């Protein structure tokens, strides 16, 4: 009997803290820019640097800590996360704030891959998509509760209050994981060179590229959502918080539906449908951002389609190379944050050099990148020897030989 499955929701608690910290910057960016006396485009580096540090750190730290006990890894991550947010709240200028965000990102890079791989390894094969969706649900729940509340707090008080709140949340999550999660070891992971080796496989490289492209497309616009939605909100931070709430609630629905649809129909069709929907939403942003009602509908559709991609793509990577599933999740996490970083950087370039109507270009440029993501997904969609990108029922994505029992994580109370 799998005694550890009921604690999977605890992993989502940590993901909620990490997700809030990752996504809330888009909502508080106008306040950061005003307080530090920089442009919104310059303040966008707060998001870009965080994401880039995460993308670089995730595979390196995954290799270094692969043999460590999982609860220790998660607690170290949450401790660094707490300290990083305290430093962010105390930062008096943009360079020091960027340094604090690097510390926070490196700590976060330890958490999400470890939590996702643990949930996948500890769930029954037929429920693996749903187990991943529970952890990812913590990220999407952050967009529902954490990001709108943090945005409202920054508008009502100051942006530093948001980071103080995140520091307290990180400390609370660490306490919950310490008390509720059993000590657990997964099979020892490979080194960094071995972690990167699967990228030489065409299907794996195309899958990781798909993640990077659709995340770049989405975050090219989402990083600057305050400026993007200014015509609809008239610069009102509280109204922006409401629109971010509208983004987040369908995001949770998208994560849940994406996990269930992946278990039923396989990762490929769910991924293609959700990325195509995301491209359509982004392409129409110049029209929908002009007034409150169409902006509200656009944000709901944006959250639904964007978050539905996550369980499908994680499941696809976990099964495209069954013997390398956990390390591919780490690579996917790096690709996700590389996409966020590139989105912020490209958005900065568009705003600086796009002319009078530069903000209107953010959505269509992002949509074009999502179309490229569809091409990468189709390029990597050639059936494997198993004939499908569903998980082979006799292997469960573990890479074991047929007929041999699946390795289980070593758990002790």
Per the prediction, the chain carries an average pLDDT of 77
Q: How far is CA 125 from the centre of its chain?
A: 23
Over residues 347-374, mean pLDDT: 87
C-alpha Rg value of the chain to the nearest Å = 20
Q: First and final CA of the chain: distance in angstroms?
A: 14
pLDDT tens figures, 99-129: 999 999 898 888 877 777 666 666 667 666 6
CA dist 179 and 175 (Å) reads 6
Give the best-scoring range by mean pLDDT among 47-61, 357-371, 376-390.
357-371
**Which residues, at least 6 apart from 408, have a Cβ–Cβ distance to it below 8 Å?**
121, 122
Instruction: With beta carbons less than 8 A apart as the criterion, state whether 246 and 296 touch.
Output: yes
CA dist 39 and 16 (Å) reads 29
Instruction: With beta carbons less than 8 A apart as the criterion, state whether 237 and 42 touch.
Output: no
**Which residues, at least 6 apart from 21, have a Cβ–Cβ distance to it below 8 Å?**
81, 85, 104, 108, 166, 170
Lowest mean pLDDT segment, chosen from 53-67, 324-338, 346-360: 324-338
Residue 3 — pLDDT band, cuts 50, 70, 90? very low
Which pLDDT belongs to residue 72? 83
C-alpha distances in angstroms, 390 versus 97, 214, 387, 393? 43, 22, 9, 9
DSSP string over 148-166? HHHHHHHHHS-HHHHHHHH
Position 383 pLDDT exceeds 60: no
Domains of the chain (ranges, CATH numbers) = 5-412 (1.20.1250.20)
Position 7 pLDDT exceeds 90: no
CA dist 1 and 124 (Å) reads 11
Neighbours of 381 (CB within 10 A): 19
**Which residues, at least 6 apart from 157, have a Cβ–Cβ distance to it below 8 Å?**
none
Position 149 pLDDT exceeds 80: no
pLDDT tens figures, 198-244: 566 667 777 788 888 999 999 888 888 888 888 888 878 788 888 88
Which pLDDT belongs to residue 202? 62
Residue 380 — pLDDT band, cuts 50, 70, 90? low
Q: Give CB contacts under 8 A, 24+ apart, made by 350-354.
A: 350/220, 351/40, 351/41, 351/44, 351/224, 351/227, 352/41
Four-residue CA torsion sign, 175, 181, 182, 183: negative
pLDDT tens figures, 268-312: 888 889 899 999 999 999 999 989 999 999 999 998 898 888 888
Position 141 pLDDT exceeds 50: yes
Position 385 pLDDT exceeds 60: no
DSSP 3-state assignment of 223? coil
Q: Among candidates 51, 115, 137, 138, which has minimal Cα distance to 336?
A: 51
**Strand intervals (E) in 138-209:** 183-185
Q: Among candidates 187, 252, 181, which has minimal Cα distance to 5?
A: 181
pLDDT tens figures, 238-264: 888 888 888 878 887 887 888 888 878
Which pLDDT belongs to residue 395? 35
Q: Among candidates 384, 148, 332, which has minimal Cα distance to 248?
A: 148
| 412 or 208, greater pLDDT | 208
- Output phi, psi for 388, to 5 deg: -165, 160
Please tell me the pTM assigned to this model. 0.71
Which pLDDT belongs to residue 285? 92
């Amino acid at each position: 009997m799998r005694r550890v499955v009921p604690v999977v929701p605890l992993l989502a608690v940590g993901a909620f803290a990490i997700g809030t910290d990752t996504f809330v910057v888009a909502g508080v960016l106008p306040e950061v820019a005003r307080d530090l006396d920089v442009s919104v485009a310059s303040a966008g580096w707060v998001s870009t640097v965080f994401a880039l540090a995460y993308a670089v750190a995730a595979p390196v730290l995954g290799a270094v800590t692969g043999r460590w006990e999982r609860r220790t890894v998660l607690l170290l991550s949450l401790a660094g996360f707490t300290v990083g947010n305290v430093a962010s709240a105390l930062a008096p200028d943009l360079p020091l704030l960027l340094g604090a965000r690097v510390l926070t990102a490196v700590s976060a890079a330890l958490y999400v891959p470890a939590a996702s791989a643990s949930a996948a390894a500890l769930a029954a094969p037929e429920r693996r998509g749903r187990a991943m969706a529970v952890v990812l649900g913590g990220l999407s729940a952050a967009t529902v509760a954490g990001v709108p509340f943090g945005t409202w707090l920054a508008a009502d008080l100051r942006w530093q209050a948001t980071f103080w709140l995140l520091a307290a949340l990180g400390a609370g999550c660490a306490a919950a994981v310490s008390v509720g999660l059993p000590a657990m070891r997964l099979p020892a992971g490979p080194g960094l060179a071995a972690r990167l080796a699967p990228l030489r496989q065409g299907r794996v490289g195309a899958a990781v590229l798909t993640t990077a492209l659709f995340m770049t497309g989405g975050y090219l616009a989402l990083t600057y959502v305050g400026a993007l939605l200014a015509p609809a909100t008239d610069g009102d931070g509280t109204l922006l918080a409401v629109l971010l709430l509208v983004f987040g609630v369908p995001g949770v629905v998208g994560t849940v539906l994406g996990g269930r649809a992946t278990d039923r129909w396989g990762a490929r069709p769910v991924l293609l449908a959700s990325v195509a929907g995301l491209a359509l939403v982004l392409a129409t942003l110049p029209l929908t951002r002009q007034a409150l009602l169409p902006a509200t509908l656009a944000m709901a559709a944006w959250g639904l389609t964007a978050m539905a991609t996550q369980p499908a793509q994680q499941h696809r990577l976990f099964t495209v190379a069954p013997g390398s599933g956990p390390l591919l999740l780490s690579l996917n996490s790096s690709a996700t944050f590389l996409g966020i970083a590139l989105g912020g950087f490209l958005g900065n370039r568009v705003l600086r050099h796009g002319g009078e109507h530069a903000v209107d270009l953010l959505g269509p440029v992002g949509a074009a990148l999502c179309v490229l993501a569809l091409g990468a997904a189709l390029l990597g969609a050639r059936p494997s020897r198993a004939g499908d990108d569903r998980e082979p029922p006799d292997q469960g994505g573990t890479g074991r030989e047929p007929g041999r029992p699946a390795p289980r994580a070593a758990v002790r109370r």
